[in-house]
Structure 1
Amino acid sequence: MAPQLSEDEIDDLLYAARVGDKDELTSLLSSLAEREKVTPADILMSAKDEGKSTCLHMAAGNGHAEIVAHLLSYLPAGEAKADSETEKKKAKQEFLDAPNEYGNTGLHWAALGGHLAVVKLLVEHGASVALANDKNYVPLDLASFGDKFDVVDYFLAQSGGLEGDNAEAGGLEAGMEGVTADDVEEGRDSEAEAKDKGKGKKEGAEEKGKSG
């Protein structure tokens, strides 16, 4: 049975991942998993906002490599003996490649922000580099549009010469549709906001527009 999470609980989880608050995120996952009698991985896979963005999107888009690694440490999901290794691996892949409403994965957001350490971490854990969003852009395209050349070079080295198409004029703007500044730029939250336990984050998100 899927965990029953309130909107505020989901908001708190996403906020902790977005600002890189590992202690708060860990505490929330532990308490919710205990209450729902599921694993923290089950909580993570159920926690999505209205735009289908996950904790992984939030951490990856803001360059929090430590948080991304922490999230992935909970996977593969499932602790019951009946869960086969194949099912666990499938659950992990689904979490890694979960698209939001615009088709962007955590890897898309990390590439767009130029967060090389996060990009490497996600790819090493099996994130799909060839998944396209609803504008038909793969993560390499978004890195190219934003002149994130170290990320572009990494993708090219990993793919053996895969080239990003769609890099025509205006491509960056199109590729960023639905992605807010809050979720792809670092340093926008003050230290006071980062300690706010997520209160008021929803209002801030609404001012910037829907995440994507």
Structure 2
Amino acid sequence: MALTDEDKDEILLAGRYGDLEDIREFVSKFGAEPLAEIRDENDNSVLHMVCGNGHLDVLEYLLPLVPPTLLAAQNSAKSTPLHWAALNRHLSVVQKLVEYPDGPGIDLIDIKNTAGHTPLGEAELAEWDEGATWLVKVMNLDAEDAEKGNGDVEDVGDDEIGVPQDIEVEIEDAEGQVARMTIAGTGASKSS
């Protein structure tokens, strides 16, 4: 059965409003393959709609049905579903996207949109400390250090092995605003 424009609009709306029953019906009727290709006029996918509106149950249903590349799909503003989830402060959705075993993982955190913002940058702009803290904790901060140190181990002094150390993070947005964050073993504090 061929998809009509109305069918495409309906699946995007079902994603936006979290209508799992309509999404299951769509998959039953057309299969899962079209889910990866359907976009709105701004190139948003069904995952953009689901993640931007925080529908974790729908996301959990869709993840095994769509190709992992859809997690990193960018709309016309180059924002991914993770950008939308971070902007709208949906922690469980952010975590599910980053931790999905078959997906791109922490690499999603490094994707920049046309404004030059990563999902972490969007969380900071939304003043969403909980999400920004979680993203910083899971992102790969060691890649930069490894390049600088050529594999050398840095002397950590008399600190006990296994004791969490504070991490100082500075994030600069496209407008040159700098946010500083200290991440401790159990939380974070932010200063501007």
Say yes or no: TM over 0.5.
yes
Query: Do residues 107 (structure 1) and 82 (structure 2) align?
Result: yes
The verdict on how the C-alpha distance between 1:163 and 1:25 changes in structure 2, with shifts beyond 3 A counting, is: farther
C-alpha contact (below 8 Å) 1:141/1:167 kept by paired residues: no
Determine whether 1:51 maps to 2:42. Answer: yes
| Aligned AA (2:92) | A
CA distance in 1: counterparts of 2:77 and 2:56, whole angstroms: 23
1:132 corresponds, among 87, 91, 112, to 112
When residues 149 and 129 of structure 1 are mapped into structure 2, their CA distance, relative to the original with a 3 A threshold, is: same
Q: How does 1:65-144 map to 2 (within 5 A)?
A: 65-75=56-66, 91-92=67-68, 94-125=69-100, 126-127=103-104, 128-144=108-124
Taking the aligned partners of 1:4 and 1:11, their CA distance within structure 2 comes to 14
Shift of residue 5, structure 1, vs aligned partner: 2.8
Residue 60 of structure 2 corresponds to residue 27 of structure 1: no
User: Does structure 1 retain, via aligned residues, the 8 Å contact 2:116–2:174?
Assistant: no
CA RMSD of aligned residues (A): 2.2
Moved over 6 A (4+): none
Structure-2 separation of matches of 1:106 and 1:68: 11
Unaligned runs of 5+ in 2: 142-166, 179-192
Partner of 1:179: none
1:118-197 alignment, distance < 5 Å: 118-125=93-100, 126-127=103-104, 128-159=108-139, 160=141, 163-166=170-173, 168=175
Q: CA deviation at 1:135?
A: 1.0
Aligned residues: 146
Structure possessing the higher radius of gyration over alpha carbons: 2
Q: From the two aligned structures, give the one with the greater strand fraction.
A: 2
Give the Cα–Cα distance (whole angstroms) in 2 for the partners of residues 131 and 59 of structure 1.
19
| 1:24-50 Cα distance to aligned partner (Å, 9 max, x none) | 1110121022xxxxxx1x111111112
The answer on whether the counterparts of 1:110 and 1:116 sit within 8 Å (CA) in structure 2 is yes
Percent of aligned pairs with the same residue? 31
Distance 2:23 2:118 in 1: 29
* Partner amino acid, structure 1, of 2:7: E
Gaps of 5+ in 1: 34-39, 76-90, 172-212
Q: Which has the higher contact order (CA 8 A, sep 6+)?
A: 1
CA distance in 1: counterparts of 2:133 and 2:14, whole angstroms? 31
Give TM-score scaled by structure 2 length. Answer: 0.70
